């Protein structure tokens, strides 16, 4: 198995100390003007607790009229119908332009009623409440009418990264503390229409470390999760009120094509090409929107290794590599600002050489944390911190078997749309099925 994390885009191992310090200072300078600005409490535009009363906001997706007052000012208006006889309508009115006079961006089309609509509203003695225009889910509009993205889906993006990536030989053979590394990758994730499957693709991933020129990449990878209706096991407990717990086999599958490692563990002359890999998976746990998960997988890869020992000498071999992995991906907040990921993997490559099949072992673990710091033109800039421990005994008798690394760097994400939170329909049904068993017998006679 490759040590590439299957739940994220490529390892972040980037710029060395010389590059990281100026980058961090530049980031602080850019963020300083916003240090005292009041950020929105959430994407709906509610104010901060204890602060001034927040302005009302138009609701996204509710029918809106565009009106013109006698002074020629244009307004976006949403009115509630009176709930009692004789009650007056209540209308929220938001300026249809920004404070600088430019048109509002990211609003839905409105029904044009012009001055007639405004006269009708005032004739009905409607209560007109000043408001801020609506913004799409995951976006926020400020008092000046400007809109900004405030939630991000880091499972859908094209990313460029750079950071400091020191690596140590855990066997005591020394380390490479001055490494800088640059990485890139594309990822996309989406549910299908019935909300029963979750698809993830990763492509064009790559990383390059300097000055040791350790490199790696993945041309294409695909994973699918399938939700099941019926549980495999139904377990009822009788400690106090009867309760039932269901164990479901939410299965999945995936594949990888053309994975490359050059100079693994810093060993010169080694090139490892994973031609293809296929695996089956079980989602042990996943959130209602299928975004967070704990996933176990097992499969087999086929590849080829070339090792050049000295000029004119070397060897190459094809291998078959069964393996297993346990991965975890979890967003800590609804905005996507804080993300944790981890994986544990093991594999046993069997090399076919002149003496037959030669079994070897690869294993490792990885844990990382990503924090979105700022957004530039609504594209997030994040800090990634990561630690890795890797073992492989297939490099050579004199080469290091253990390697440990700690990475810290910045990531620039492009695309990264607003995160969606809709629960899959099947998860809604499961919640109803997991009610206490005693409720079904509540209507029985004594």
pLDDT of the residue at 341: 96
**CA angle (272 as vertex; 269, 275 as ends), nearest 5:** 150
SS3 state at 120: helix
Q: Do the beta carbons of residue 370 and residue 382 sit within 8 Å?
A: yes
Tokens of 397: 């008798």
Question: Which residues make beta-bridge pairs with 44?
Answer: none
Torsion of CA 373, 376, 377, 382, to 10 degrees: -50
For residue 300, CA distances in Å to 21, 95, 220, 256, 363 come to 42, 60, 16, 10, 15
Q: Give the Cα-Cα-Cα angle 215, 4, 17 (nearest 5 degrees).
A: 55
The structure's pTM equals: 0.77
Q: What local confidence, expressed as pLDDT, does residue 173 receive? A: 62
> Domains (ranges, CATH) in the chain?
17-30+151-433 (2.40.230), 61-134 (no CATH)
pLDDT averaged per 10 residues, the chain (length 446):
38 38 42 38 37 75 94 94 83 94 93 93 90 94 94 95 88 77 94 82 94 92 88 88 85 95 88 96 88 94 87 82 96 93 95 82 95 95 95 78 91 91 59 48 42
Contact 428, 300 (CB under 8 A): no
Task: Evaluate whether 325 touches 4 at the Cβ level (below 8 Å).
Answer: no
Structure tokens at 445: 């006679």
pLDDT, residue 88, reads 87
The number of beta carbons lying within 10 Å of the beta carbon of residue 139 is 19
CB 246 within 8 A of CB 430: yes
Q: Identify the bridge partners of residue 160 per DSSP, sorted by sequence position.
A: 184, 412
pLDDT at 194: 67
């Amino acid at each position: 198995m490759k040590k590439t994390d299957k739940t994220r885009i490529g390892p972040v191992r980037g710029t060395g100390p010389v590059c990281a310090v100026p980058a961090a200072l530049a980031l602080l300078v850019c963020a300083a003007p916003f240090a005292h600005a009041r950020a929105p409490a959430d994407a709906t535009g509610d104010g901060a607790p204890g602060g001034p009363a927040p302005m009302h906001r138009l609701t996204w997706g509710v029918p809106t009229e565009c009106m013109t007052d006698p002074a020629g000012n244009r307004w976006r208006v949403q009115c509630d119908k009176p709930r009692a006889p004789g009650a007056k309508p209540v209308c929220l009115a938001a300026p249809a332009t920004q404070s600088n006079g430019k048109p509002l961006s990211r609003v839905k089309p409105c029904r044009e009623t012009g001055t007639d609509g405004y006269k009708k509203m005032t004739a009905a003695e409607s209560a007109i409440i000043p408001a801020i225009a609506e913004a799409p889910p995951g976006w926020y509009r400020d008092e000046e009418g400007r809109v900004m993205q405030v939630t991000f889906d880091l499972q859908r993006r094209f990313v460029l990264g750079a950071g400091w990536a020191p690596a140590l030989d855990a066997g005591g053979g020394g380390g490479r503390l001055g490494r800088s590394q640059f990485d890139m990758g594309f990822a996309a994730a989406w549910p299908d229409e019935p909300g029963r499957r979750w698809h993830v693709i990763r492509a064009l991933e790559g990383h390059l470390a300097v000055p040791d020129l350790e490199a790696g990449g993945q041309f294409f990878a695909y994973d699918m999760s399938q939700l099941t209706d019926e549980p495999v096991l139904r377990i009822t407990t009788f400690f106090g009120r009867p309760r039932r717990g269901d164990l479901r086999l939410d299965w999945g599958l995936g594949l990888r094509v053309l994975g490359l490692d050059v100079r693994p563990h810093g060993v010169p002359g080694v090139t490892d090409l994973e031609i293809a890999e296929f695996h089956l998976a079980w989602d042990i746990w996943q959130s209602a929107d299928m975004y967070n998960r704990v996933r176990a997988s097992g499969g087999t890869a086929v590849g080829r290794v070339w090792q050049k020992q000295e000029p004119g000498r070397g060897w190459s071999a094809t291998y078959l590599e069964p393996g297993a992995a346990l991965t975890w991906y979890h967003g800590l907040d609804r905005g996507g600002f804080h993300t944790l990921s981890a994986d544990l993997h093991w594999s046993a490559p069997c090399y076919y050489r002149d003496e037959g099949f030669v079994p070897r072992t690869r294993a490792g673990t990885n844990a990382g944390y990503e924090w979105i710091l700022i957004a530039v033109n609504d594209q997030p800039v994040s800090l990634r911190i990561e630690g890795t421990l890797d073992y492989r005994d297939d490099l050579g008798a004199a080469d290091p078997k253990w390697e440990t690394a700690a990475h810290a760097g910045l990531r620039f994400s492009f695309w990264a749309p607003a995160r969606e939170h809709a629960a899959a329909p099947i998860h809604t049904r499961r919640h109803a099925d997991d009610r206490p068993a005693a409720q079904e017998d509540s209507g029985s006679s004594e």
